[in-house]
Amino acid sequence: MPAPIIKVDAITKSFGTFKVLDGLSMQVMPREKLALIGPSGSGKTTILRILMTLERIDGGHIQIDGEQLYHMERNGQLLPADERHLAKMRQKIGMVFQLFNLFPHKSVIDNVTLAPMLTKGVSRTAAEKRAMELLDMVGMADKARSMPAQLSGGQKQRVAIARALALQPRIMLFDEVTSALDPELVEEVLNVLWRLCSETDMTMLLVTHEMGFAHDFADRVLFFDRGKIVEEGKPDEIFRHPKQERTQSFLKKIIAAGHRV
């Protein structure tokens, strides 16, 4: 059996006196597609941000690909990770945010080429060639010279996905990537996620309120509540036969609001 690519062990995280993550543990296998669902404020975004090193942990351990994320092993001792270690680890992971976060003063293609050129020393020619392949994959090649302000939300999000892929991460994190989109633009972004899911061997973690998509996309669904994983299982188990009362009441509310699960 292969080793997990992500191993989260009893992590805690507070913002002020509010404990967002409360001894959270989880393991993710290489190539696994996970959907993280649960009520607002249950810590789903926070765990993705922690994996991306955008937030620090208060306690616990995380291993990515067999290596400690927030610690460095030196002579059998675990020391806090320095910036160089974090930067190296971060290259294994790409993240796409709810609000796209494109660089507004850079063209579409420059958004995609910037990180490989700056962090990996890739030449402009090679970075642009790869960027055009990625933009083609997300259906945005014809907008390569456009500026972000000229794009729709769905188009911006597809560029953000291409940008995250440019560093060739083994793990991709998607944080409610369709929540800020007008309903008619959701499908075009989900189609891109679907392609990545079926055509690549990346490990993918998706925080979403699109339960129908989560059902189709995920190998495994994790249900978060109050900083913990309360229930996990295959999509059919979680969506059709949830065992925990908290999962049942959450899904009931979602269905009552008219969403497909």
Ligand X SMILES: Nc1ncnc2c1ncn2[C@@H]1O[C@H](COP(=O)(O)OP(=O)(O)OP(=O)(O)O)[C@@H](O)[C@H]1O
Least separation in angstroms between residue 255's CB and ligand X is 18
Q: Which residues contact 240 (CB under 8 A, 6 or more apart)?
A: none
Amino acid (1-letter code) at residue 155: Q
Residue 220's DSSP bridge partners are 34
Distance (Å, rounded) from C-alpha 56 to C-alpha 179?
A: 25
Q: Which helix (H) or strand (E) holds 19?
A: strand 18-28
Between residues 41 and 139, which has the closer beta carbon with respect to ligand X? 41
Between residues 20 and 127, which has the closer beta carbon with respect to ligand X? 20
Q: Number of helices (H) and strands (E), helices first, in the chain? A: 9, 12
Between residues 40 and 77, which has the closer beta carbon with respect to ligand X? 40
Distance (Å, rounded) from C-alpha 194 to C-alpha 218?
A: 10
Among 1, 2, 15, 83, binds ligand X (CB under 6 A): 15
| CA distances to 103, 205, 223 from 172, in Å | 20, 6, 19
Mark the segment that binds ligand X (CB under 6 A) among 43-51, 109-117, 156-164, 230-238.
Answer: 43-51
Among 30, 41, 153, 233, binds ligand X (CB under 6 A): 41
End-to-end CA distance of the chain: 31
Among 4, 26, 35, 44, binds ligand X (CB under 6 A): 44
Name the residue with tokens 């290259």. Answer: 91
Between residues 9 and 22, which has the closer beta carbon with respect to ligand X? 22
Least separation in angstroms between residue 15's CB and ligand X is 3
Interaction residues for ligand X, span 61-90 (CB under 6 A): none
Mark the segment that binds ligand X (CB under 6 A) among 34-42, 86-94, 100-108, 230-238.
Answer: 34-42
Mark the segment that binds ligand X (CB under 6 A) among 44-52, 61-69, 103-111, 145-153.
Answer: 44-52
Among 17, 40, 75, 198, binds ligand X (CB under 6 A): 40
Mark the segment that binds ligand X (CB under 6 A) among 33-41, 64-72, 80-88, 107-115.
Answer: 33-41
Q: State the binding string over 46-65 for ligand X (x if CB under 6 A, else -).
A: x-------------------
The tokens describing 62, both together, are: 């995380």
Distance (Å, rounded) from C-alpha 233 to C-alpha 34?
A: 10
The tokens describing 20, both together, are: 């967002």
Between residues 134 and 206, which has the closer beta carbon with respect to ligand X? 206
Interaction residues for ligand X, span 194-253 (CB under 6 A): 224
| 71 CA to centre of own chain | 22
Amino acid (1-letter code) at residue 105: H
Q: Which stretches of the chain bind ligand X, using CB under 6 A?
A: 15, 20, 38, 40-46, 224
